[in-house]
């Protein structure tokens, strides 16, 4: 059975700045980690990103909605990754929170 993760985080940035930071973090994570083991794609339409990661015959998808005061992440995990949902949620939350901090400067992969 698949598993959904939903993370909602407040921020004090403009929607444009929040989107820029989240997009940068997604690119760093894709380059540094995901694309070394899997295929991934990220497509932005206005303030929404549709993400897809395929590894070992399994596909995970996600949507990132950048709103004026919040970021909403919704991830759909295949059943085989459902047992890791808590750890995955923690990593997503930590990465998003770091990206949205005032004074944040992106880490290079």
pLDDT at 99: 87
Q: Please state, for a pLDDT cut of 70, what percent of the chain lies above it.
A: 93
Spatial CB neighbours of 77, under 8 Å, sequence gap ≥ 6: 2, 3, 4, 5, 60, 84, 85, 88
CA distances from 38 to 20, 24, 30, 89 (A): 24, 19, 9, 19
pLDDT at residue 1 tops 60: yes
pLDDT at 23: 95
Weakest-pLDDT range from 7-21, 28-42, 51-65, 93-107: 93-107
pLDDT at residue 103 tops 80: no
Residue with tokens 């990593």: 91
Every domain of the chain and the residues it spans: 3-90
Q: What is the pLDDT of residues 60-83, one digit of tens each?
A: 999 999 999 999 999 999 998 888
Quote the CA–CA distance of 77 and 95 in Å, as a whole number.
18
CATH numeric code, 3-90: 3.30.530.20
pLDDT at residue 107 tops 70: no
Nearest to 73 by CA among 85, 65, 82, 84: 65
Mean pLDDT of the chain: 90
pLDDT at residue 109 tops 70: no
15-29 vs 85-100: helix crossing angle, rounded to 10 = 130
């Amino acid at each position: 059975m698949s598993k959904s993760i939903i993370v909602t985080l407040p921020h004090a940035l403009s929607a444009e700045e929040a989107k820029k930071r989240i997009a940068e973090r997604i690119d760093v994570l894709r380059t540094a980690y995901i694309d070394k083991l899997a295929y991934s794609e990220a497509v932005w339409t206005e303030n929404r990103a549709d993400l897809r990661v395929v590894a070992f015959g399994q596909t995970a998808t996600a949507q990132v909605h950048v709103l004026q005061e919040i970021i909403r992440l919704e991830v759909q995990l295949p059943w085989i990754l459902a047992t890791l949902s808590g750890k995955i949620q923690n990593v997503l939350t930590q990465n998003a929170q770091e990206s949205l901090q005032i004074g944040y400067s992106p880490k290079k992969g």
